[in-house]
Amino acid sequence: MGDMLELEYDEDMISLLEAVWGEGFLSPGGTEEVDRVVGNKDLSQASILDIGCGIGGAAIHLARTRQPGRVTGIDIEENLVHKAQELANKKNVSAICHFQRVDPGPLPFQPCSFDVVFSKDSIIHIADKFSLAKNIYEVLRNDGWFIGSDWLSGYEGEPSPQMQAYIDAEGLDFGLASASTYQEAFNAAGFVDVEIDERNAWYRNQARAERDNLAGPLYERLVAQVGEDFLNREIDVWDKMIIVLDSGELRPTHLRARKPA
């Protein structure tokens, strides 16, 4: 990521996203989607790293439901990490759930520190998938897993005008890549059993429901919280996103890869 002088996820954005996606979440699907991402993988006693933990929803859900040994959430925005730690305290998991701010770039952990590296919809912000995959591989113990979800592109090269319009409307620092780039990056790092499970159909429906919720039942409350202009801009983002979900250029995807024993 480039230098970030502005917060990408400020208070208004956090309020809006939590209203649509649930307490602690800056990504779709809430705790149910975290359960689908992790599936029946046994995390008991596991040491878990959550890359791009945001305000902690996923990490805290894992801490509450999967009996891990320890969950470490990292994010580049101090305010998010702070909120995540507050939520962990509120949910009584702060003994095993810690959050820390990191600088963009190499993961600041010793080799072989984690049994599982998890990430939900955050790698999109990290442009160099090859360096990241290599870095995840290094911090994982042998036979450890990367388990996560992310927003991938359904195209190689330049985005269409519709996709560019969506990216511009989001205003986020996106580093989108295709499934084949992710596959190559995981393979090049040394991972095996790479699984890429495309979730476009699920999110196409979900995004429509979210958009209708924003423009309907949530509208008055959110106008009071974030203001009408901000809310209307975000509804426009959803409209633009639905176009590129329908075209298949934006592809939410579950990802898994194993570091050999």
Contacting range for ligand SAM; rule: CB under 6 A; set: 51-59, 134-142, 162-170, 245-253: 51-59
How far out from the chain centre does Cα 193 lie? 21
| Minimum CB distance to ligand SAM, residue 7 (Å) | 8
Q: How many other β-carbons are positioned within 10 Å of the β-carbon of residue 162?
A: 15
| Cβ-contact 215, 235 below 8 angstroms | yes
Strand partners, 254: 149, 197
Contacting range for ligand SAM; rule: CB under 6 A; set: 22-30, 156-164, 193-201, 217-225: 22-30
| Minimum CB distance to ligand SAM, residue 81 (Å) | 9
The residue (of 52 and 159) whose beta carbon lies closer to ligand SAM is: 52
1 binds ligand SAM (CB under 6 A): yes
| Cβ-contact 213, 205 below 8 angstroms | no
Q: What is the C-alpha to C-alpha distance for residues 242 and 261, in angstroms, rounded to an integer?
A: 41
Q: What is the C-alpha to C-alpha distance for residues 220 and 202, in angstroms, rounded to an integer?
A: 27
Contacting range for ligand SAM; rule: CB under 6 A; set: 35-43, 71-79, 153-161, 198-206: 71-79
Q: How many other β-carbons are positioned within 10 Å of the β-carbon of residue 152?
A: 26
Q: Judged by CB under 6 A, which of 78, 89, 101, 104 binds ligand SAM?
A: 104
From residue 113 to residue 142, the character string flagging contacts with ligand SAM as x (rule: CB under 6 A) and all else as - is -------xxx--xx----------------
| Cβ-contact 175, 182 below 8 angstroms | no
Contacting range for ligand SAM; rule: CB under 6 A; set: 54-62, 192-200, 217-225, 227-235: 54-62
Q: What angle do CA 261, 149, 2 make, to 5 degrees?
A: 100
What is the token pair recorded at 212? 């209708």
31 binds ligand SAM (CB under 6 A): no
Interface residues toward ligand SAM, by CB under 6 A: 1, 9, 25-27, 51-54, 57-58, 74-77, 80, 104, 120-122, 125-126
